[in-house]
A and B are shown apart, each in its own frame.
Chain A
Amino acid sequence: MKTRKKAIRLAAVLVAFSLIMTGCGGKNKTVNNTTANTSSQSDTALGGIDRTEPLTLEIYDVAANYQGMQSGWFGKVVKDKFNLELNIIAPQASGNGEALYQTRTASGKLGDIILLDNSPLQDCIKAGLISDITNEVQSSENLNQYYEQYKTFNTGLEENTEGKIYGLPCQITNTSPTTYTDTEIYISPMLPWDYYTEIGTPEMKTMEDLLKVLEQIQAAHPVNAAGDPSYAISLWADWDKGGTQITMETATQLTKMYGYEVNGSIMLGNTGDMKQVTDDDGAYYKMLHFFFEANQRGLVDPDSGTQNWDTACTKMKNKQVLMFWYSWQRGFWNTPDRANDRNAYIYAPVQDMNFYQPSDSYYGDGRALAIGSHMEGNTRARAIEFLDWLISPEGLDFLHAGIPDWSYTKDSEGKYTLTEEGLYGLMENRTVPDEWGGGGFDDGNSKINQWPLHSVSTNPNTGETYNYNYWNSYLEANKTIMTKEWSEKYGAPNQVAYLEKTGQLKPVPNVNIILPSDTTDIALIRSQCATIICDTSWRMVFAKDEEDFKAMWEEMKIQLEGLDWNQLVEFDKSKFEKVLEAREAAMK
């Protein structure tokens, strides 16, 4: 008996304590907050949502690199505005994403808000884990603006011809399916301008010339400023075999410099053709050979085979890697100050390249947000309200531009200007003001790590893009010595303009087709082939000589035959036929 009494007492104390705590966390805080927008504070907005109770939304998020509660400034914005807390569940950061996905789907609750790639989304809808949110989208202020795009995407779901809305594709734009707004392309060779000009900016016609240039640069700068060895190319293996990819990821990305995008066992060309990744005259082989050649000349970081992304990334931040190819990699090094010293990375033209670049992701980028099917009543309304806010100009400004009056300032015409804090906030994790909750900007940045609307979209409040890279103020302020020299030399204001002039860029129209996911048989074949292709690719890069390189490739093809490679190719081909057809239709 005694113990029972004790337990009751303890429970009573706990209840009282939790009441006090929620009292603190709930309404009291919103009195002195600076972010709350009064219109959404009224409890009658959007059909009388009750926000008095704090609510934690579980977000199952395949894009997140962080697992746990959203903290810091963005967490505070969401808390103050909606009394919501976000618990991010990140398969990428959980150590074993597959297992996490499996156990959570088996339990019937993947998450309150779910962010998935198209194929798993299709599977989860079939398994009844995803809510139909057609009505909510239509009655929401912001989501409804993109209803037609959402409908186009959802009509592609199996057995959904009437176009009920289940998934909200991410990264959609308000431009058009054939525009390319960006001024940079996703994959292209970039070199430090100071090093490249130092050797006299030799003209490069082919990959062979690029290797020669890299060789010269590395010979001139074998170590970085700190005295650590620098290499032209540094690779990492932990991104291999992501999703349905079965090839060495770094080489896979580079094929986009020669007009092809690898998708599983096949490559899509920017002219609408299709090849197998194992074709001897294909772009994938070409890129492996490029890495191999580079390694023969000592241009590949010997740690490549054993290091992970983090280690490689640290080297990029220390100028130990002399060639970048992802457009976002420049963020690890480039700053206006450095660009004025000409010490920054910029596109180095190679004449025979022909770039594969999709247009603006008007219909989305292959991932979608959804609401779990267990969500009911008030919690469901609050989750929808949150998603609606995320795609509102206010929410998007937080996601894309950062903290108002700290990351950027507004002038009298409502145009934005980036501040120094805004520029370095993410890179240096600068401390945000106390009224925004303090802490580092990067730590407090949205850990959802995915955007409902792409930053190249036009912000109705400013008439400019959400992305600060295209604000007039930014473009003016960022005419650095490097960009001026580059523009003068190549006779174009930016990379895209230059490539359009030379005819090396023909953007591929955007389509967002929900592709069928693998059957178990195909999944098994894919997995076994992936192991062989990735392992062989790595060994080929570090092969002794040309003969060895070729022998490995041939041996790989024989082994793949034995693993039913042709079945996999057939499967992928029939899958991507639809994509090619849709692209052709979009061009008409």
Chain B
Amino acid sequence: MKLFQNKKKKKSIIEFLYILPFLILIAVFAYYPLYGWVYAFFDYRPPQPLTMDNFVGLKWFQSLVSNPVKTKQIVNVVTNTLVMSGITVTTSWLPMLFAVFLNEIKCIPFRKAVQTVTTIPNFISWVLVYSVAFNIFNNTGVVNQVFVSLGIIDKPIQFLQASEHVWLTQWLWLTWKNLGWAAIMYIAAITSIDEELFEAAKVDGATRMQMIRYITIPSILPTYFVLLMLSIASFLTNGMEQYYVFQNAFNKEKIQVLDLYVFNLAMGSGSYSVATALSILKSMISLILLSLANGISKLVRGESFL
């Protein structure tokens, strides 16, 4: 018996086998965990196993906004999330610009050095970053010591305990950590620009600034837009580790983002069901945002990425 009647079919099956491992990976790591969503509809309390006796329907979803105080909390958390993500998205052109200027450095060893130095922070864990931050900015830390001994201030400044400028300082930490890493994409995009364009521009007497403006930036804009769309999709997921290590009683109102709130809720009390309910809502909103971003990209640039 011939299993495959024609060669075309056989070929397509083999080709399907090529992508099968990746499909399995996605199924196992992206879709299978979704089964955990059922916890949001139960009254789950470890170590008791799940049974239908504990089915509570939409109770937890309602409990999130069951009274003004809780609603205010959720609003506060969502605001923090949107603002921090907003700042990140509106400044997402920084790595691109950084890459462009880095590319202009003609001294190769120096360029490599700068790139290395700016990429390294990406590999330092947030926990370590906080201990560095604590040692630099605490009351007997380097910064306060220098300021006090110079007589600029007479009492140490409570940098880490300040509730002002939390959004700004957190963004600075994030940028310090991610700038070099994010620039790698753009550096790759720049190297793939046709050299002939630059040569032609030189012949026409373009200055370096004009070359950047009329050649480099337009060539890497598509890359930028794709990355921007992707970051909009994860607008609500702005990480947790960073805010987890930097949070304290004084800045929590400003620093508590959705992921951290979910973590504090679930891990602080074992309220897994509520935390799951919140995560489900988050995923839904992310989906909507992604579709919106995709639609806008279709309208504006005539091409979508989904």
- Report which A residues bind B (CB closer than 8 A): 96, 98-99, 101-102, 105-106, 110, 123-124, 126-127, 129, 228-229, 237, 241, 301-303, 305-307, 311, 518-520, 523-524, 526-528, 530-531, 534-539, 542, 559, 561-563
Contacts and interface: CB of A to CB of B under 8 A. Distances in A.
Contacts of A124: 47
Nearest to A107: B47
A99 B267 contact: yes
B70 A528 contact: yes
Given A228-B140, A527-B268, A527-B269, A307 B249 contact: no
Contacts of A524: 63, 265, 269, 271, 274
Interface string B139-169: 1100000000000000010101100000000
Contacts of A307: 134, 138
Interface stretch (B11-19, B38-46, B99-107, B186-194): B38-46
B224 interface: no
Given A305-B248, A305-B249, A523 B48 contact: no
B273 interface: yes
Contacts of A520: 43-45, 270-271, 273
Interface of B: 43-49, 63, 67-70, 73, 134, 138-140, 156, 158, 160-161, 248-250, 252-253, 264-274
A511 B265 CA distance: 32
A535 B249 contact: yes
B249 A539 contact: yes
B156 A98 contact: no
Contacts of B160: 305-306
Contact of A305 (B67, B73, B250, B270): B250
Secondary structure of the A contact surface, majority rule: helix
A237 B269 contact: no
Contact of A106 (B46, B63, B269): B46
Nearest to B252: A535
B306 to A, nearest CB: 34
Contact of B47 (A129, A228, A527, A534): A129
Nearest to B50: A106
Nearest to B42: A520
B69 A123 contact: no
14 contacts: A106-B46, A106-B49, A127-B48, A237-B249, A302-B161, A303-B138, A306-B158, A518-B270, A527-B268, A536-B249, A538-B250, A561-B69, A562-B68, A562-B69
A241 B44 CA distance: 21
A531 B267 contact: no
Contacts of A306: 134, 138, 158, 160-161, 248
A530 B268 contact: yes
Contacts of A311: 134
A98 to B, nearest CB: 5
Given A127-B47, A518-B270, A563-B70, 16 more contacts: A98-B268, A123-B46, A123-B48, A126-B48, A301-B139, A302-B161, A305-B158, A305-B160, A305-B250, A307-B138, A520-B44, A520-B270, A524-B63, A527-B264, A535-B249, A536-B249
